[in-house]
Amino acid sequence: MKLINAIKNKKFDLKKVKNNSKILSLDYNQIEKFHKSIGNKETPLIKLPELAKSLGIRKLLLKDDSNRFGLNAFKALGASYAMSQQIIKYPQIDTFCTATDGNHGRAVAWMAKKLGRKAIIYMPKGTISNRIKVIEEEGAKVFVINEGYDNAVKIANEYVKLKNNNSGNYSCSLVQDTAWDGYEEIPLDIMKGYLTQTHEITNQTKNENIDLLFIQSGVGSWAASVITYVMNQWENPPLCISVEPHSANCLFESIKTGKRLSVYSKSPTTMAGLNCESVSTIAWNILKNGLTGSLSISDKLSNEGMKVLANPLLGDPTVIAGESGASGLGALIGLCNSNKLKTFKKNITLNKKSTVLVINTEGATDPLNYKKVVSQTIDNTM
């Protein structure tokens, strides 16, 4: 299997993506103010000049969300805002429920505890014990099913429907960051919550002109939120490139065909946060025109990203990044070092003049695997 596959998006259209993203138009300062009210602090933007030099690009910037709210990931930005909006509309809610591969579930459990509500979390088979443990430590009940992520979403949805039917009122709320026909309000609010992160990046990069943004995608909600902001608010928006694991590259395959597809694979990936079979409907409507290209990578490249950040070149800072968090950088490394993707690199103008932004979405959410990976020798042949 190749380390990296790349495709150009033939349907990129700035006018269409701006039109399709009007659903996210709102006061960014209002959302940021809400997040500050629950303890949010701006996360750092890090410069990696030595790594940039080794990759043959001009500048490399990394937004580090590995310690957002002290939760090891950025996810609480979306969950907290959506859940607060639900409580405003339905104060009788006593339970929040979700399906998760880890970070989103921890965020829902954390916010539920803040709101004095219960949390029920469904997780797919193969979930590592540490991700279960940290969610339970937030006071949630966790159920690991013997099926994948998409089926966990279906089970969570059925649980909420049954509980609400039995109670006779809206006492239980499903907090999922993927949308489908008939379920769009909460995923949309989650996407709005994510905007605080890009608002921070905008303030932190005022003196920079970002040429390329590598952005990882699971169900695509976060990626679509980021792209919406930069396409509408930045005077010179970057070219945006999505990143997914080979075994769960539903967005990659959808971009390739021009139609929203699901991908079912029995091959595992350590990039648990990106291990999703289908793109959110709301996200697809934005991503199908907002991406310049799409990348599908092997776990070896996300591992390489983790190692490079944990063992930096002299002069660069150390960054702790988990498997999904390092995938954007891993894709950049794979692309810069590939001799077979020269045409793609030329199309996206990845060269010695490029300023590239990547976002570390999580810290070491699997501590055992993290220690194993970062202790290995960096592969300079990639």
Whether the pLDDT of residue 18 is over 90: the answer is no
Q: What is the mean pLDDT of residues 181-191?
A: 95
Which of 124, 153, 176 delimits the end of a domain? 176
Residue 380 lies in a domain: no
164 and 290 together in one domain: no
How many beta carbons lie within 10 A of that of residue 46, not counting itself?
18
271 and 353 together in one domain: yes
CATH number of the domain within which 240 lies:
3.40.50.1100
229 and 286 together in one domain: yes
133 and 207 together in one domain: no
SS3 for 43-69 is CCEEECHHHHHHHCCCEEEEEECCCHH
224 and 286 together in one domain: yes
Band (227; pLDDT cuts 50, 70, 90): very high
Cβ atoms of 354 and 58 within 8 Å: the answer is yes
Interval 150-176: pLDDT, tens: 999 999 999 999 999 998 899 999 999
Our answer to whether residue 75 is catalytic in this structure is yes
pLDDT at 28: 81
Marked catalytic residue, from 59, 63, 75, 192: 75
pLDDT at 70: 94
Q: Structural domain of residue 344, as residue ranges? A: 4-74+188-374
Q: Distance between the two ends of the chain, CA-based, in angstroms?
A: 14
Cβ atoms of 294 and 328 within 8 Å: the answer is no
Tell me what percent of the residues of the chain surpass a pLDDT of 90.
90
Give CA–CA dist 82/70, Å, rounded. Answer: 19
Band (24; pLDDT cuts 50, 70, 90): confident
Marked catalytic residue, from 101, 177, 211, 366: 101
pLDDT at 168: 87
Residue 382 lies in a domain: no
Which of 176, 211, 228 delimits the end of a domain? 176
Residue 381 lies in a domain: no
The tally of domains found in the chain comes to 2
196 and 338 together in one domain: yes
Interval 100-132: pLDDT, tens: 999 999 999 999 999 999 999 999 999 999 999
For the record, the structure tokens of 26 come out as 């709102």
168 and 192 together in one domain: no
pLDDT at 21: 82
pLDDT at 140: 97
Largest CA distance in the chain: 62
Cβ atoms of 191 and 221 within 8 Å: the answer is yes
Our answer to whether residue 101 is catalytic in this structure is yes
Band (377; pLDDT cuts 50, 70, 90): confident
Q: Taking Cα atoms as reference points, which of 88, 57, 59, 9 lies closest to residue 257?
A: 9
Whether the pLDDT of residue 277 is over 80: the answer is yes
What are the C-alpha distances in Å from 365 to residues 71, 73, 123, 128, 154?
9, 9, 15, 9, 25
Tell me what percent of the residues of the chain surpass a pLDDT of 70.
99
254 and 325 together in one domain: yes
296 and 322 together in one domain: yes
DSSP labels, 265-311: -----S-GGG--SB--HHHHHHHHHH-SEEEEE-HHHHHHHHHHHHS
Mean pLDDT, the chain, integer: 95
Helices (H), the chain: 14-20, 28-37, 49-55, 76-89, 103-115, 129-136, 149-167, 185-204, 221-233, 250-257, 281-290, 299-310, 327-336, 342-347, 367-374
pLDDT at 311: 96
Band (265; pLDDT cuts 50, 70, 90): confident
